[in-house]
Amino acid sequence: MLNLFNKVSQDCSKITTKQYSTSFSSAILLLHKDIRTPIFNIYGFVRFADEIVDTFHQYDKATLLNEFKEATYQAIERGISMNPILHSFQMTVNQYKIDHKLIDAFLHSMEMDLNKKNYDISGYEEYIYGSAEVVGLMCLNVFCEGNKEECDRLVPAARSLGSAFQKVNFLRDLKADYEGLDRVYFPGCDFSSFTLEDKKKIESDIQKDFDDAHKGIKQLPLKARFGVYVAYKYYLSLFKEIQKVQPQKIMHQRIRIPDYIKIFILAKAGIRSQFNIL
């Protein structure tokens, strides 16, 4: 019956991904079937940790996160957990030999969210590495399916893609982070007087991340390339919409990509993929 428990646990991670992010779940379904489940397992873990620090305000978040952290390492060491999200995650960690330092860095960034409200350059880079870049690196381990040489070669691009996604999220969620959670991730920015110059400086940094990431996407294994490319195009389109918006408008609304645009992106990406011109 262990196979049934494994399947139920992995289904929980898949459901979690679909409920929290339609864009990511759609992109994951475009990966080769062999690597979809472990990516769902990674996202389920990441989503639950993030939920602790961002949502459970009426509870002792520090205690919850510490318990989650301890249960994570225990699950990995034992090779089993009665928490289905952690059980599916440990399956992926152990199968693909994901470096525990990546997990350490991710959970450290979640801990930073409990206390830090403003970031200098060093803290900003540390947070982005742990909250986003290492997630890309975990996924890269799955994409490369044990090919360490290929994985090592693609590390810089994977980090850039995770960084781009996170920084776009920061811009998109400025209102919620600043007003709802009292967080300012971008160093040196005063969002009570957020200027066009401030916004353009941030956008220039994000564009560089996207450019660096694109070079690596074209070199990904075939099983992963199309799904990652579509996720990249989703976020790039969101970024372009954000670029059109005046600074103060960002502070009062959350920019979204309509479903019909997502369908267009998918169709166009499919055509480009057929002609190998990603």
d(CA 278, CA 276): 6
pTM, two decimals, is: 0.91
Residues across the chain: 278
Cα(59)–Cα(84) distance, integer angstroms: 22
Residue 215: give the domain boundaries.
Answer: 2-274
79-99 pLDDT, tens digit each: 999 999 999 999 999 999 999
The CATH number of the domain holding residue 15 is 1.10.600.10
pLDDT, tens digit, for every residue of 252-277?
777 777 776 777 777 776 666 665 66
Within the chain, what is the greatest distance between any pair of CA atoms?
Answer: 59
Listed as ranges, residues in the chain with pLDDT below 50 are: none
Distance in angstroms (rounded) separating the CA atoms of residues 206 and 236: 10
Q: How many domains does the chain have?
A: 1
CA dihedral 188, 116, 41, 56 (to 10 degrees): -120
